Chain A
């Protein structure tokens, strides 16, 4: 089944404790992206990747890192999480980018930083 998976789905952590949210797709998509969703602010893009080793900042990249060493995986790294990073996070992928294709979204990761 074609899908985007994220792990973990729920995470409660403490300020400053490094964490990684994994994202994987099995559709051989070139484009992958991370978004966060907050009440009143809606969805905002954190980082995106056009292909292996090609990443770029979205609108809210501060406090996050990403890597794209393999085509299927695009982990989101929070080196020193803070409470303002408490949010619902979505990973998404698309065959070749946003001008030609729709995106496939993962199920979301609800992160709470205390």
Chain B
């Protein structure tokens, strides 16, 4: 079983829909990262969170440390949101080593 699991692996949505991507992890953590990778490869860090909720524009990230689960929500989705979304957590006993989920490929159709 992977230490970081994301669901769904693939997601197709219509423009304007509310999107949720989930990340579950088995290690005890103090921070979780959400990344975005557009076609063509560049990676952008969206959020680093250790508790509660963070919001940036149409993106919202939440984390429940007790349940070892985080969600990334996109409100009013747009085709430019089409990308791979990746969650990552520090490794077991190594807070500056990252373990990555395999990513969620999101396609938002106009």
Contact A98 B42 (CB under 8 A): no
How far apart are B29's CB and chain A's nearest CB, in angstroms? 9
Dominant SS among interface residues on chain B: strand
The interface residues of chain A, by DSSP majority, are classed as: strand
- B97 beta carbon closer than 8 Å to chain A: yes
Given A42-B102, A99-B50, the answer on whether A31 and B96 have CB atoms closer than 8 Å is yes
**Residue A105 CB within 8 A of the other chain:** yes
Contact check, B98 vs A98: say whether CB atoms are below 8 A apart: yes
Given the interface contacts A43-B86, A98-B90, A104-B45, does A59 sit within 8 Å of B99 by beta carbon?
Answer: yes
* Assembly CA distance A33 to B99 (angstroms): 13
**B interface residues (Cβ-Cβ under 8 A, vs A):** 30-31, 33, 41-48, 50, 86, 88, 90-91, 95-103
Residues of A bordering B, CB below 8 Å: 31, 33, 35, 42-45, 48, 50, 56, 58-59, 88, 90, 92, 97-105, 107-108, 110
